[in-house]
Amino acid sequence: MTSERDDTRRLEALALYEIMDTPPEPEFDDIVLLASEICQTPVSLVSLVETERQWFKARIGFEQCETPIGQSVCAHSLTSSDLLVIPDLSADVRTRDNRLVTHDPFIRFYAGAPLISPEGVAIGTLCVIDKVARPDGLNDTQRRSLAALARQVVVLLEMRRISSRKDDLFRRQKRISSEVRAIAASSIAAQEAGGIGTFDIDVASGRMKISAEGCRIFHLPIQDEYPANVIYDFILPQDRHLPSADRTRMDGTASLETEYRIHTPQGAIRWISRRASFHRDAEGRAMRMVGTLKDVTEERNAHARMQALIRLGDVLRDTDDVQQAAFDAAELMAEALGATRAGFGMVDPVAETVLMHRDWRAPGVATLEGLHHFRDYGSFIEDLRRGETVLIGDVTTDPRTRDQFQTLLDIGIRVLVNVPVFDKGQFNLVVFVHSNEPRQWSDAELDFIRSVGDRLQSAIGRLLAEMDQDILNRELSHRLKNTLSIVQAIATQTLRAVQNRGPIESFEKRLQALSSAHDVLIHRNWTGASIKDLVSDTLDRIGMLERADVSGPAIFIGPKATQSVMLLLHELATNAVKYGSLSNETGKVAVKWDISGPADNPQLSFSWQEAGGPPVTEPTQRGFGSRLIRMGLLGTGDVDIRYDAPGIMIVMRASLSHLQEAG
């Protein structure tokens, strides 16, 4: 362990760096990432040692940001300038009782390079840790790389301390970046990990060193070197501007990150992601282009499927047509899966036929519109009858279709997907997706197809239910209007002998207003109506809409309030025609409404102001109509009536939330 004098010097050096307890920085994070990859360990740390603790400036694979000094293995590295390698921590007398060894996370292997300041003070380590013992420790390349990276940690610390020397900082930063990239390139190019290929292009010669995984990605025979332009033959013509070329590598303008498509020798299309960086000489000229390659086809396909489901949700939410919903679902499914044909058909389950409607097709693919018999193509109708989605990856081998596979091949079907749709338990519609190339369905694709089928079933069920509800609403509306007509006929018959016809006519018109309110509600499936529609409908029925100024925000009110407001508007309009501004040729009426009050309890203010009519006087008697107006929007009052010289002015107020209640 270190002496008290060494501890003091170390603490002073750490204080000068002002590094302790600072947030993570990508430069340090990159170094622990490289150390972990080069040494092939799950854990790598930049550890800075104080008196009572060791704190990690950067870490990978280790949850804690610091540990007590008593648990520090790095403290043993501070007395030497060489790497400390402990192949088995549980067997070493210095560490076998360490809690990190005897308890979770049960570390077993340790290698640490001391971080030595320019003044010769060891302030911590760059270490790598494994959870299994490694009797062979590190190889020579790994030892040199770990030591070099440790030096780069110190350089980064120095750069932070002398950041005011900008010119020197810039030159040293370039050196550090070049050294780190060189270490990364030489190490990663020697490995194949996680499906990531590596390449190293010499700009001057146009020759490319490529890893075995890189060769596999491009379906090239595995060898160390190729001309850099060998990949152009695989790239789709429309994407050939995306990779680097001789000119863009030479002038250093090639895109550092790009994605493009290639054609494999088997005819498949794959997406390739390429990331790269340039190594430049002292004058800034591009010397080498080094980077990684990865096949991201599955990621792209997963994204396409996710976007298709999002779009499907939007389409199914907005459509009100069952056939359009089925077609849209089939089209989205086909595009996401790279199919060649998709559509839907109406099923006769008794005759076992399907009438194919319009279908989505890739260029050059024939339509299947018309009548088809399920049994002509296989036995999969039995699955459809049970409500099961049919997924056939190759019609020539699937037992449900192999006896009729030639019939399917003749119409361009090698892959078949059928999603049954039921109405009231009856199989009456099928959504289909076809492809002319065999394929194996991935679990993600199968989940996607089933998800589309489930969503389509739900949406069509909703549409059919809405259609049934609409029929029911219209029947109820018809019967209700008949009831109101009967009430009106009974009233007319009963009151025929009454000499004063005015009240009777008013009663009949109120019945008509109530009937109109029901018409509006039926039109909106009893979800309420907008105030503007109610006002406009009332004025339009008496032929006075063009003499009215109607304005206010779009506000919908509930069914109960709709009936009350419709009767109220009828009284206002009738009075205006009989006695007010609409009783002559020039008068007008202004109908306005707005929202005011606090956000948690907004109030609707509704005004009816007449102008240009005969002189206004307050009535001496109040009939039913006057009482109805004074009851206000909800029958609870809060009505101001002024008999001004220009015309009557009525302002009504009510709680917006009460107006919008459903019942």
CA separation for the pair 613, 583 (Å, rounded): 7
Q: Cα 362–364–367 angle (5° rounding)? A: 75
Per-residue pLDDT at 54: 93
Structure tokens at 253: 């303008």
Q: Cα 364 from chain centroid?
A: 33
CA separation for the pair 58, 22 (Å, rounded): 10
Q: Give the β-pairing of 426-435 and 415-423.
A: antiparallel
pLDDT interval class at 435 (50, 70, 90): confident
pLDDT interval class at 170 (50, 70, 90): low
Helix (H) or strand (E) holding 279: strand 269-280
Look at residues 44, 38, 27, 60 and name the one whose alpha carbon lies nearest to residue 182.
38
Give just the sign of the alpha carbon dihedral 207, 211, 216, 220. Answer: positive
pLDDT tens figures, 526-542? 556 788 988 888 888 77
**How many CB atoms are located within 10 Å of the residue 250 CB?**
15
- Secondary structure of residue 210 in the 3-state scheme: strand
Entry pTM: 0.44
Under CATH, which number does the domain 303-466 receive?
3.30.450.40
pLDDT interval class at 148 (50, 70, 90): very high
- pLDDT above 90 (res 364): no
Least confident stretch, 30-34, 187-191, 629-633 = 187-191
- Fold match, 4-177 / 189-295: yes
Per-residue pLDDT at 383: 93
Give the start-to-end residue ranges of the domains of the chain: 4-177, 189-295, 303-466, 500-659
Per-residue pLDDT at 151: 93
pLDDT tens figures, 313-329? 887 787 777 777 777 88
- Secondary structure of residue 408 in the 3-state scheme: helix
Under CATH, which number does the domain 4-177 receive?
3.30.450.40
**How many CB atoms are located within 10 Å of the residue 215 CB?**
18
The better pLDDT of the pair 424, 647 is held by 647
In the chain, the N- to C-terminal Cα span, in Å, equals 81
CATH superfamily, domain 500-659, is: Histidine kinase-like ATPase, C-terminal domain (3.30.565.10)
Task: Name the CA radius of gyration of the chain, rounded.
Answer: 41
Burial 581-620 (b: 16+ CB within 10 A, else e): bbeeeebbbbbebeeeeeeeeebbbbbbbbbbbeebeeee
* Burial (0-12, 13-18, 19+ Cβ within 10 Å), 129: buried
pLDDT tens figures, 369-386? 889 999 999 999 999 999
pLDDT tens figures, 239-280? 888 888 888 888 888 888 988 888 887 767 788 888 988 889
User: Under a CB-based contact definition with an 8 Å cutoff, are residues 360 and 331 in contact?
Assistant: yes
Structure tokens at 350: 């008794």
Rama region for 281: left / alpha / beta (φ>0; ψ in -120 to 50; rest): beta
CA separation for the pair 85, 302 (Å, rounded): 44
Mean pLDDT, to the nearest integer, of 416-440?
83
Ranges of beta strands (E only) in 16-171 are 43-49, 53-60, 66-68, 84-86, 109-116, 122-130
Structure tokens at 87: 């192949």
- Average pLDDT over the chain reads 82
Domain range 189-295, CATH architecture: 2-Layer Sandwich (3.30)
Least confident stretch, 179-183, 488-492, 560-564 = 488-492
